[in-house]
Structure 1
Amino acid sequence: MTRTLKGKAWAYGDHIDTDVIIPARYLTSSDENELGKHCMEDIDADFCKKVNPGDMIVAKENFGCGSSREHAPLAIKGAGCSCVIAASFARIFFRNAINVGLPIFECPEAADSIETGDEIEINTKAGTIENKTKGKVFSVTPFSPFLQELIEQGGLIPYVRKQLESGRGKK
Structure 2
Amino acid sequence: MEEDNASAPPDRAHVVGTKSWIAYFGTLVLAALLFFGLLPVAFMWNEIAAGVVFIVSALVVGYRLLLLRSVQLYYDDVGVWTYSGVLPWKKGVSGVKWRDMDEATFEPGFWSWVTGSYTVRIGHRYTKGGEIVLTNIGRGKAAVTTLNACQQELLRTNAIE
TM (norm. structure 1) is 0.24
**Bigger radius of gyration, 1 or 2?**
2
Relative to its length, the structure with more helix (as a share) is 2
